[in-house]
Amino acid sequence: KKKIAVMTSGGDSPGMSPAVRAVVRSGIYFGCDMFAVYEGYEGLVRGGDLLKKMEWEDVRGFLSHGGTDIGTARCAEFRERKGRLQGAYNMVVNGIDALVVCGGDGSLTGADLFRSEWPSLIEELVQTGRLTAAEAEPHRHLTIVGLVGSIDNDMAGTDATIGAYSALERISEMVDYIDETANSHSRAFVVEVMGRHCGWLGLMSGLSTGADYIFIPERPPKHGKWQDELKEICSRHRGYGKRNTTVIVAEGAIDDELQPITAETVKDVLVELGLDTRITTLGHVQRGGTAVAYDRMLSTLQGVEAVKAVLESTPDIPSPVIGIAENQIVRQPLVDSVRDTKMVATAIEAKDFDKAMSLRDSTFAE
Ligand code: ADP
């Protein structure tokens, strides 16, 4: 009987709990023993109570829960080989032969590394006498499947990450609230949104709320020139009779000389224009709340696909990550997805913004 563990790791996102539910229940449906690793890689390294057998009813209600019911953490030890060695030991002694990781770019990079090191970790555990050759034998190969859980929609190889549409919904709702008060007082608001190095939340929330101006890392404005352009555009919109001004600044916003553009610097420009300007940093409300229907659907379909991928895996198939492309649930090698995600960051560092934009998913690139 196959023993599969599911884990959520890195920054939480709405849809992680529904993903855990889907993995646990489809695993049971396909006749597997299912486990949850609590607290992300921390649970793998510490083992014990943090590795828990899961039954059908243990995930009841998860579909409508935000965040992750099995906890998540950032784990420094897992970045070291020693931590990963302990993780491998805990998996083997619990008989676990496959791991489904739902997390962001960092977590999936860690997962990819774990799988590539696996044979040498097992060998070391045998060499040092912590495992007997007989105990190690059924565990010479590790199956890892990735699910992309992130509000940032920053992972290559999928049009949408689990949680991105929930965060977008939350941001758009908050900007609508802000627009009401801005309208009343004829104010300007600079809204800072999350997304780390990815501008998807900034761009899509700007589109969804009709913002006057949007700052995202992939399409940076000209160094030293954007201030005048911002003033010109906001004045023009005011000239049309608009009483409010809304500017969205993505967390990773920069100019084309890679200088950070912050909500503060944007505010200063709007103040120079004579606008009564306030800053709202949305913060953690963006990742809070329950998952929107899209994320529940995405995590459920992808969770089932993840279990199928585990059951169909062989040592010669590279670890897959489950994505959605043109409305189809798809698998692709995790290494490719991790590599392509890094390419965006590299393109931005090299100031090749057209390339960065084209490497993002199709809706973004349009
Ligand atoms: P996210 O998955 O949301 O991008 P992080 O980047 O914080 O979040 O990664 C979550 C955890 O994944 C880290 O705390 C660490 O345990 C593990 N991890 C991240 N990057 C690596 C790496 N390069 N090698 C090993 N483990 C990693």
User: What is the per-residue burial (b if ≥16 Cβ within 10 Å, else e) of 245-281?
Assistant: bbbbbbbbbbbeeeeebbbebbbebbeebebebbbbe
Distance CA 105, CA 339 (A): 10
Say how far apart CA 358 and CA 366 lie, in whole Å: 8
- What six digits make up the tokens of 285? 């409300």
pLDDT at position 315 is 87
Q: What is the ipTM of this complex?
A: 0.98
> What's residue 359's pLDDT?
85
- Those residues of the chain that have pLDDT short of 50 are none
Binding residues for substrate, as ranges, are 150-152, 187, 194-196, 251, 278, 284-287
Ligand 1 neighbourhood includes 109 CB (under 6 angstroms): yes
Q: Is 196 in the pocket of ligand 1 (CB under 6 A)?
A: no
**CA gap 11, 16 in Å, rounded:** 10
Q: What is the pLDDT of residue 336?
A: 93
Rounded to whole angstroms, how far apart are CA atoms 258 and 230? 18
The residue to mutate among 39, 68, 79, 113, having the most atoms of ligand 1 within 8 angstroms of its beta carbon, is 79
Amino acid 365: pLDDT: 64
Ligand 1 nearest-atom number relative to CA 42: 16
Six-digit token pair at 73? 């953490």
112 lines ligand 1 (CB under 6 A): no
CB-count burial class (<10 Å; 0-12, 13-18, 19+) for 49? exposed
Q: How far is the CA of 102 from the centre of ligand 1 (A)?
A: 12
* Cβ-based neighbour number of residue 305 at 10 Å: 22
Contact in structure between 20 and 6 (CB atoms under 8 Å)? yes
Instruction: Give me the residue label for tokens 């997962």.
Output: 111
pTM equals 0.95
Tens of pLDDT, residues 5-24: 999 999 999 999 999 999 99
Give yes or no for a contact between 39 and 67, defined as CB atoms under 8 angstroms apart: no
Q: Which residues are annotated as a binding site for ATP?
A: 11, 74-75, 104-107
State yes or no: is 340 an active-site residue: no
As a whole number of angstroms, the distance between CA 197 and CA 156 comes to 13
Q: How many helices and strands (H and E) does the chain possess?
A: 13, 11
pLDDT digits (tens, 9 = 90+) for 175-213: 999 999 999 999 999 999 999 999 999 999 999 999 999
The one catalytic residue in 152, 159, 255, 361 is 152
pLDDT for 360 equals: 82
Give the integer Cα–Cα distance in Å for 365 and 45: 39
Which tokens belong to 36? 């949850």
Q: Which segments of the chain does DSSP mark as H helices, in order?
A: 16-29, 41-46, 81-93, 105-127, 133-136, 164-185, 200-209, 226-239, 263-272, 293-311, 334-349, 353-359, 362-365
**Type and span of the H or E element at 215:** strand 213-215
